């Protein structure tokens, strides 16, 4: 009987431990769990539209944020427009560098349920389904066709940082600027 080391990607801890003991006939076994499918404490629903220029302009920055917060936040792109088919969404993702999953929001059901009004708009939910932040990604856009040269208020990163640190979000809702969800 020897020792074994095992890196586990998918987790069922007791089954893996038994596998280690019986399959490897090991007296002791150290198991490292790297569960990429574990639920994340926060989910950011990003409402986008393939034809909305503001949505197009925000995708790369949203992709950077999804990588930056990958350990504790899940990003999901929802496309509530009737014209956004899975094929168009896939092409949009490729063209604009979307690095997190995107899918249609049939009948804009989630958009209505989460009270999203424009694209792009984000809604942050915790594991209980409680909305922790809703609104603009940042204050780059002042109005349709008008934007600042630099962002002065990064609303979404501020909310995520507060929540990850175990604090309350100071700005819980903002008015997003973008293309109307119909």
How far is residue 9's CA from residue 98's CA, in Å, rounded to a whole number?
25
How far is residue 67's CA from residue 117's CA, in Å, rounded to a whole number?
26
> Is there a single domain that holds both residue 126 and residue 64?
yes
- Predicted TM-score (pTM) of the model is 0.78
Q: Each residue of 92-114: pLDDT tens digit?
A: 999 999 999 999 999 999 999 99
CATH code where residue 93 lies: 3.40.30.10
CA-based end-to-end distance of the chain: 66
How far is residue 92's CA from residue 49's CA, in Å, rounded to a whole number?
9
> Is there a single domain that holds both residue 63 and residue 20?
no
10 pLDDT higher than 90: no
> Percent of the chain at pLDDT above 70?
79
Q: Residue 21 is part of which domain span?
A: 2-33
> Is there a single domain that holds both residue 22 and residue 72?
no
Q: Each residue of 103-143: pLDDT tens digit?
A: 999 999 999 999 999 999 999 999 899 999 999 999 999 88
The tally of domains found in the chain comes to 2
Confidence at 40, pLDDT banded by 50, 70, 90: confident
> Is there a single domain that holds both residue 49 and residue 11?
no
Q: What is the DSSP letter of 97?
A: T
Length of the chain (residues): 182
Q: Each residue of 70-81: pLDDT tens digit?
A: 999 999 999 999
Query: Tokens 């899940």 identify what position?
Result: 74
């Amino acid at each position: 009987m020897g020792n074994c080391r095992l890196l586990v990607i998918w987790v069922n801890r007791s089954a893996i431990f038994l596998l280690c003991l019986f399959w490897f006939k090991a007296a002791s076994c150290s198991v490292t769990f790297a569960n990429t499918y574990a639920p994340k404490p926060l989910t950011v629903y990003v409402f986008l539209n393939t034809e909305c220029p503001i949505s197009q302009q925000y995708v790369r920055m949203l992709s950077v944020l999804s990588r930056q917060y990958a350990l504790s936040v899940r990003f999901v792109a929802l496309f509530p427009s009737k014209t956004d088919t899975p094929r168009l969404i896939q092409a949009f993702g490729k063209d604009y560098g979307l690095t997190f999953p995107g899918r249609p929001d049939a009948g804009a059901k989630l958009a209505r349920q989460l009270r999203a009004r424009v694209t792009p708009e984000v809604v942050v939910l915790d594991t209980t389904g409680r909305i922790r932040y809703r609104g603009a990604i940042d204050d780059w856009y002042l109005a349709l066709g008008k934007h600042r040269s630099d962002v002065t208020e990064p609303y979404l990163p501020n909310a995520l940082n507060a929540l990850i640190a175990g604090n309350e979000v100071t700005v819980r809702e903002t008015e997003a600027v973008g293309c109307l969800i119909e």
